Amino acid sequence: MLTLNYPLVLASNSPRRQQLLKDAGFEFSVKVKPTDEDFPDTMPAPEVPVFLAKKKALAFQHEIENQIILTADTIVVVDGLILNKPQDKAEAKWMLQKLSGRKHQVITGVCVMTKDSMESYSDTTDVFFRELTDAEIDYYIENCKPFDKAGSYGVQDFVGMVGIPRIEGSYFTVMGLPVHLVYDALKKFSEL
């Protein structure tokens, strides 16, 4: 769809982000640098995903030439508590029980960096879960293994299909990439 002036590099191993970017018509390569995902304990939750997206982009700062680096980070927030990726089945179950029957926020931060510029922003979506049974949670964890997902769930997976009656905001932000914002940011580097 958009023809970019520079090659686009998606710095993410997330198959969901890769698929969304592809479905939006972008050609890109994938290159990831290991980056620690620590952030200051005192940082307000809404600032964390942008902080981490910038951190991931800055890992490329000494080798970037005529490229566009796109990074993203997604967090789940309930009661002011950030739910990252679960370490094991027990933590995944605890997270899903915490989200069950409640509203929470999913915030995805994005960074678009070139040799000459860096732009970052975030998008927030409210997600409403119905009450989940322990059997549903156990089935989901066993069959979908959500250990690479913030908050222990994917909106596109079983638990999202049966457990989320509504969202307020972008579905794609919950999947991990606010495509509407990424498209607008990348338009600046296109021939359109």
Tokens of 161: 């299909």
pLDDT of residue 192: 57
Q: Count the neighbouring beta carbons within 10 Å of the beta carbon of residue 140.
A: 24
Show the beta-strand stretches assigned E in 21-162.
29-30, 68-78, 81-83, 103-113, 118-128
| Locus of tokens 């949670």 | 137
Share of the chain above pLDDT 90, in %: 86
CA distances from 113 to 7, 48, 160 (A): 12, 18, 32
Tens-place pLDDT, residues 50-70: 999 999 999 998 888 889 999
> Which among 36, 73, 79, 123 is annotated as catalytic?
73
pLDDT-based confidence at residue 109 (cuts at 50, 70, 90): very high
CATH class of the domain defined by 8-187: alpha beta
- The domain locations on the chain are 8-187
- Length of the chain, in residues: 192
First and final C-alpha spacing in the chain: 10
What distance lies between CA 44 and its chain's CA centroid?
17
| Known catalytic residue at 73 | yes
What distance lies between CA 169 and its chain's CA centroid?
14
